Structure 1
Amino acid sequence: MKRAVIFLALALTMALAGCGAKSIRTYDGPDVTRILVYKGDRKMYLMHGGQPLKVYNIKLGFDPVGPKQFSGDGKTPEGTYLIDRRNPNSQFHLSVGISYPNPQQMAFASEQGKQPGGDIFIHGAPNSGADVVGDWTAGCIAVTNADIEEIWSMVPDGTLITIYP
């Protein structure tokens, strides 16, 4: 009887532990060698050399015109960065980090007596279930949850990302 109770407790614990886990896809295709983002077109391209592998519709910061310069400005950065981290426990459905700000952007913000901001990601929808319409992020690049799962699996850390106006 005691063994049965222990067994049931362990089985229940393992079953519950898997309830919150996100299923991460795998990808076994051509390498993504670069990401190109065109803010004005609201498009993001995963590239293999000069060929696009995938194209995504994107949403941007709530004030998307112009480059991000300061914390809270609602702008999405412009320039070339690296994919430098990922967060499976994000407040959004997965997130892939962009290496903004660079040293020049940090120095400029400091000269202005401000902070450059940071924590810029490509991510999915809010886990809160909030309804989001139009450009809504604080400066990140938002895609659908299905898209971020695909991007997560296809894009390795260290990939270059260039964000154009």
Structure 2
Amino acid sequence: MFLVNRRRFLAMVLSLPAVASAAVTAPNQDTATDLVEAMLSRAHVPRHSNELWVLVDDKEATLSVFRGNALLERFAPISLGRAGAKTQRVRGDNVTPMGEFHVNRFNYESQWRTFIGIDYPTPVHARMALEKGIYSQADYDDYFDYYRRYGRPPQDTALGGAIGIHGLGSADPDIHGRYHWTQGCVAVTNDQIDRLAALVGVGTRVVIR
């Protein structure tokens, strides 16, 4: 089981130079947002030369798979949440959360053909929710208690959940090609989700920016 200690996690995050700078200079209510943005500014750098990782680009409407810096696949256009991509998401707002995530589950019997789940909301999103008043202190503590117990983030808080990358299933490919139509997930075609599922695995890093 993956154990998360809130104090150790935040200490680790704040030890990163770019993140520490943002935390020192930003007003308190914006600190968590700056942490997400600081992480995103560094997230496009592979962890090592052989890392397999995924980049979802909101502005370009693309999903790219890299091995280190080498591009393996690029899917376009993709669809995101109807309300676009933002660093802050709350349940039911149809926003795709931005940030740095990891694949944590697969559902090959999804109505969307295949669903590749990610570990949203992350501890950074939880901290942002606390500082913006979306989470109470009790909500924040409950988030970490759940994470420590089950090794994954809770999916039924004010931040919502069930975020991932999926295919179309029986959805209209024409609508997919013209509009952002999901409730917050990243959607690709059925052929593309098959190709993606063959490449990635549990633990693969996913950056949404």
Q: Normalising by the residue count of structure 2, what TM-score does the alignment of the two structures yield?
A: 0.59
**Larger Rg: 1 or 2?**
1
Instruction: Name the residue aligned to 1:74.
Output: 94
Instruction: Name the residue aligned to 2:84.
Output: 64
Q: Which amino acid aligns with 1:55?
A: R
Matched, 1:49 2:68: yes
Quote the offset at 1:108 in angstroms. 3.7
1:40 is paired with a residue whose SS is: coil
Comparing 108-117 with 50-59, greater Cα deviation is found at 108-117
Aligned length: 132
Q: Distance in 1 between matches of 2:109 and 2:162?
A: 14
1:156 is paired with a residue whose SS is: coil
Determine which of 98, 107, 132 is the counterpart of 1:87: 107
Instruction: Name the residue aligned to 2:4.
Output: none
Q: Which amino acid aligns with 1:103?
A: P
Determine which of 118, 121, 125 is the counterpart of 1:98: 118
Instruction: Name the residue aligned to 1:153.
Output: 198
Matched, 1:131 2:150: no
1:105 is paired with a residue whose SS is: helix
Comparing 129-138 with 92-101, greater Cα deviation is found at 129-138
Q: Distance in 2 between matches of 1:105 and 1:88?
A: 27
Which runs of structure 1 show a deviation greater than 2 angstroms over 4 or more consecutive aligned residues? 65-68, 106-111, 129-132
1:35 is paired with a residue whose SS is: strand
Quote the offset at 1:148 in angstroms. 0.2
Structure 1's 72 and 130: CA in aligned 2 closer, same or farther, altered over 3 A? same
Structure 1's 81 and 65: CA in aligned 2 closer, same or farther, altered over 3 A? closer
Amino-acid identity (%): 33
Instruction: Give yes or no for contact 1:93–1:125 (8 Å, CA) kept in 2.
Output: yes
1:88 is paired with a residue whose SS is: strand
Alignment root-mean-square deviation, CA? 1.8
2:191 is paired with a residue whose SS is: helix
Q: Distance in 1 between matches of 2:66 and 2:89?
A: 27
Quote the offset at 1:89 in angstroms. 1.4
Instruction: Name the residue aligned to 2:15.
Output: none
2:196 is paired with a residue whose SS is: helix
Q: Which string of whole-angstrom CA distances, capped at 9 and with x for unpartnered residues, describes residues 33-80 of structure 1?
A: 111111111011100010110001111001114234201111111110
Q: Distance in 2 between matches of 1:130 and 1:150?
A: 18
Q: Distance in 2 between matches of 1:155 and 1:163?
A: 16
Quote the offset at 1:32 in angstroms. 6.2
Q: Normalising by the residue count of structure 1, what TM-score does the alignment of the two structures yield?
A: 0.73
Instruction: Give yes or no for contact 2:54–2:204 (8 Å, CA) kept in 1.
Output: yes
